Amino acid sequence: MSSSFTRALCGTVVAALLPLTAMSPLSAAEEPSADAPVEVDGLTPTEVADEVERTGNPVVAILDDGDDLTIKTYDADDADEARDVAEKLEKNDDLVALDVDQRVRGADSEVKILGDHAGSGAENWKQYALDRTGARTAFNIGTRSVKVAVVDTGVDAAHPDLAGRVLNGAEFLDRNTGHRGRVDDHGHGTHVAGIVGALHNNAGVDGFATHVQILPVKVLDKQNLGWTSDFAQGIIWAANNGAQLINVSLTSTGRDAAVLAAVRHARRKGALVIAAAGNDGAGAPVSYPAAHPETISVASTNQSDYWANFSSVRGDVDIAAPGQDIISLWPNQRVAVLSGTSMAAPAVTGAIASLMSTGITANQAYSALVASAKDIAGGRMGLSFGTDPYTGIGRIDVAAATKPVVSFLGSVGRTYTAGTTARMQVRVSHLGRPLANRAVTIRTSTGRTANVRTGANGQAAFNVPLLRGTTIEARTAGIAARRTTFARVQPHARVKLKKYKASSQRKYRKVRLTIARPARQKVVVQVKNGRRWKTVKNARLGATTRAKTYSWKVNARSSKKRYVRVKIYAGGGLVSRTITVKG
């Protein structure tokens, strides 16, 4: 038993007596070194042989000579040949890792082509994503041009709404058309590019960014399909050719060493990689490459400003943006509506580019989006607030990102136990730049107050004692207040089983629940019979500010050890908790 638990159960709930204390600011995370070697875990020759035998796909070699990263593929007819190829490659001093090629595809849904490019701006009213995120307020915030790579199906450079914005790019397919990525025989890449930076000319649709150059990198064919080796080469090429932001609205089924190496190479070059989280819904993990921590993983929201139910969530989602029913450009001077995290990712990319036009770095721009993100509901019941697996830090708010903001660093989304203390940080910044020596007042819904002052990095840290679900608010002069909620605080409780013999014929065990500050929660006691749980007791707790112990008898006919669980339902600002014991 922990000492804090002991004190709580003795009637003195420690957290209630703790002040909201300030701590010293934390240092910012270090950026990857430009000359740091790229390192990834790959496959052994035997694993390569097995995978080639299973899929028939080529062997992939990731090579780094110290100056550049390259991806090469080798065909193998069978497992033995694949093993021979892999063993020979392992003798190359430049080898980073071995892998086997995999399929990738664009992360979108059904296409609704609306027709010809509109000449009157009539389509703009349908662009709820720009209005919901306040992106229009930042159209003219700066003048510096930002180079954005769209690694996709190519981009239709002849589209009127992209006139003068599409640079000469590259193609990484078996059949190189020589168009340097400026022709799109599918449409996905053009749609993505339009979300990033379609012209603001009252003719058609508007993109998120005004001062942007699109670098098209074609890695997907007219079926919106490609290979991870081509995908990785496209990312590397974009990073080597000056892309500051790299949008990858593509997904693959598994972790791929080549793409991870390419992403790390891009970060080494100073580029941010923004990736679609995937469209497999609540039960599915975030797709690769978005699942790699080096990318910015983007989930989708809908027109109601909730998590879109097609957006993958199981894994690490960083941030969210509108991605459902998004109107953008389509080849041959047309516009179309698509849904998917493919559409959410370029909204974030365009928003970062818009903020970068003021002269700040990509990291500062993304930091501003994170600091100002709107905390929205996620999940099927709309009950998930704070940093959560549905929308990450929240939905982007470009208008708020242009202003000085106060934000919280630290997780409020995980489950805490009442009577414990959460460590949080507050940050004051403007367009990603820290604001030092700012006095900040922290208040909680439980009545605690702390005064902190930001350090050189714009941050200050403090402790939050949690007795139940708690909202904290940060205020500093001249900046809108910021609130966030620790919504998942569970009861501080423990369960013990004691033997209790009522007669010579029947054996019982006594279930003892000790809980700090019960709040009239419903309690169910269950015993496991085989594979099933049987409810043996329903009860309702009282309400007191002290710790209290409840006891119930449980029939245990067998002399064997039994599993017993106590389910404490939500109440009093606390979420449900289940405690299982064996005795």
Active-site positions read 152, 188, 342
- Cα dihedral value 147, 149, 155, 160, nearest 10: -20
- Looking up tokens 């999940």 gives 379
Burial of 137 (0-12, 13-18, 19+ CB in 10 A): middle
Dmax over CA atoms of the chain, in Å, equals: 92
Please, are residues 404 and 371 in contact by the beta-carbon 8 Å criterion? no
- R_g over Cα of the chain: 28
Q: In degrees, to the nearest 5, what angle opens at C-alpha 153 toward C-alphas 151 and 154?
A: 80
d(CA 493, CA 571): 14
Query: Are β-strands 489-490 and 416-417 bridged in parallel, bridged antiparallel, or unpaired?
Result: parallel
Q: Which helix (H) or strand (E) holds 443?
A: strand 439-444
Cβ neighbours for 487, distance < 8 A, ≥ 6 positions apart: 383, 384, 385, 386, 412, 469, 575
* Nearest by Cα to 398 from 207, 270, 193: 207
d(CA 190, CA 330): 6
Tokens of 511: 């279930």
Cβ neighbours for 234, distance < 8 A, ≥ 6 positions apart: 151, 170, 172, 217, 218, 219, 262
CB-CB neighbours of 174 under 10 Å: 7
The Cα-based distances of 316 to 166, 261, 281, 352, 372 in angstroms read 32, 19, 14, 20, 19
d(CA 340, CA 354): 22
d(CA 99, CA 108): 27
Q: Where are the alpha helices (DSSP H) in 140-225?
A: 188-197
Q: Is the peptide bond before 289 cis (omega within 30 degrees of 0)?
A: yes
Tokens of 360: 């700040």
Cβ neighbours for 288, distance < 8 A, ≥ 6 positions apart: 251, 252, 253, 254, 255, 256, 259
